[in-house]
Amino acid sequence: MTDSTQKKLTRRRFLKGSLAVGGALAVGGTGYRLASDALGRDYDPARGEALLAGIQPGDPGTLPNLIVIATDDLGYGDLGIYGSRAIRTPHIDQLATEGMRLTNFCSSAPLCSPSRASLLTGRYAIRSHVALTFYPAGSPMDLIFRIGGVYPHGVRGIPEDEVLLPELLQRRGYRTALLGKWHLGDRSPHLPRENGFDYFYGAYFSNDMDPYVIYRNEEVEIEPPVDQNVLTQNLTREALSFIGENQAQPFFLYYAQPFPHTPLHASEAFRGRSAAGLYGDAVEEIDWSVGQIMDTLRDLDLDERTLVIFTSDNGPWWEGSPGLTRGRKNLPFEGGFRVPFIAHWPGVIPAGTVSDAVSMNFDIYVACLAAAGIPLPDDRIVDGQNLLPVLTGEASALHETLYYYKGKRLVGVRHGDWKYLRRHMTDNGGYASLSQGPFLFNLATDPNESYDMIESEPEVAARLAQMLDDWDAEMEKNVRGWR
């Protein structure tokens, strides 16, 4: 055997051995991560089953109807009642003049999936391991997130042991429906009708994700490409039909409007009508949709028996107005979190009232349970508080402290008028990709977070920074919040 032949064989053996070792390490690493993910999820489905078994049916004659309208990426300043001069929203504005408008209402996250998880569970989304946006199973982003271990503990849908608002309302005797955007999983057991909804018409994901499919329950209703120009029209038709069919019994309608998330669409009747381009046209068609729902409630004499809530899942993305707040979607500044909130319930919520009570979208969960006479779950921490006394004028304050998450990371805390943000990527022009801060803002005197007060108020900054460390430590011990 020549020296060159021996060298080739040696090199070949080395490469084969390296590949074998690398493969074994990859398999072992993947196996370790899967085992670690499964253990870290801390799933306990029996809790949810036991909790639901304890819910008693209510008297249909006394239970109010509940409608939650949650738009997608609508900004704090995109409604007339919140100061927009470019977009006309007379029907939504009328909700506020006949009900209550909140000025310090926030989403629990500056992006889709975690915000929706909080609304439906009454908890910070991190407790559900829903920290990031979900992508369609098998899509490039889904594969990247899965391979990279980006999803917390590999969770790709709302966990089975979370007890969602519609599940509790179902047991109470409500007929429940989800129209529009789900965004909490596209595979069993994470589908809408496996999580409390009797009826589903809409899409599993945002309208920019492929394949974008419209389902009626589990059956495909509209194959791609979906004509999104008529999407609001179709959803409005379904909403009016659901209300009409269930007028003789209590119902819960979760109308998760897919707009004004991009790509923007509006029907021919609304294109070119606003002074805010296609974005404004889409919002004005949403306003029309809300008007159709309210007219139907009045025509069926259901107005005074129905609590209607209108809000958004987070701040605006590429377009839209965050009002006088700083930042927008996916940023921890107020523009990413602060959203419109209007509640309407004639005879219960005083007309034309405004509240600056600090609140968050998981409070909707608690308010709806209170309205339906359902006790709060006692086997888990519920982060939301009962918003109803604020809406009825019996209380003027709600939360003293709220925490801000960006993805899996706790980045900020609001305590009273003070807001503290850890170092994070910001909106600072050419330096947006670099971390900035920490920052301390006084939201009472500086609502658009323009002036850092750390040097002026070091003790306040230190106290709030410690609150973040303490919260992180508490969540590490019991992130699921089991009791």
Give the residue numbers annotated as catalytic, written as ranges: 112, 183
Tell me if 195 sits within 8 A of 158, measured CB to CB: yes
Alpha helices (runs of H) in 100-179, residue ranges in sequence order: 112-121, 140-147, 165-172
Please state, in angstroms and rounded to a whole number, the distance separating the CA atoms of residues 279 and 273: 11
Please state, in angstroms and rounded to a whole number, the distance separating the CA atoms of residues 154 and 150: 8
Closest CA to 376 of 54, 46, 129, 45: 54
> SS3 for 419?
strand
262 residue type, one letter = T
287 residue type, one letter = D
Q: Which two tokens stand for residue 309?
A: 């809530």
Neighbours of 466 (CB within 10 A): 12
The backbone region for 17, taken as left when phi is positive above 0, alpha when psi lies in -120 to 50, beta otherwise, is: alpha
Please state, in angstroms and rounded to a whole number, the distance separating the CA atoms of residues 160 and 164: 9
Q: Which helix (H) or strand (E) segment is 446 a member of?
A: none
Alpha helices (runs of H) in 164-263, residue ranges in sequence order: 165-172, 231-245
Please state, in angstroms and rounded to a whole number, the distance separating the CA atoms of residues 162 and 155: 13
Beta strands in 299-376 (DSSP E): 306-312, 341-344, 353-355, 359-360
Residues 6+ apart with CB under 8 A from 162: 48, 117, 121, 123, 128
Residues 6+ apart with CB under 8 A from 229: 265, 266, 267, 268
Please state, in angstroms and rounded to a whole number, the distance separating the CA atoms of residues 365 and 375: 11
Closest CA to 102 of 367, 331, 391: 391
Closest CA to 172 of 229, 250, 112, 100: 250
Count of residues in the chain: 483
> SS3 for 238?
helix
Tell me if 428 sits within 8 A of 439, measured CB to CB: no
Residues 6+ apart with CB under 8 A from 237: none
- Dump the DSSP string for 74-86: --TTSSGGGT-SS
> SS3 for 384?
coil
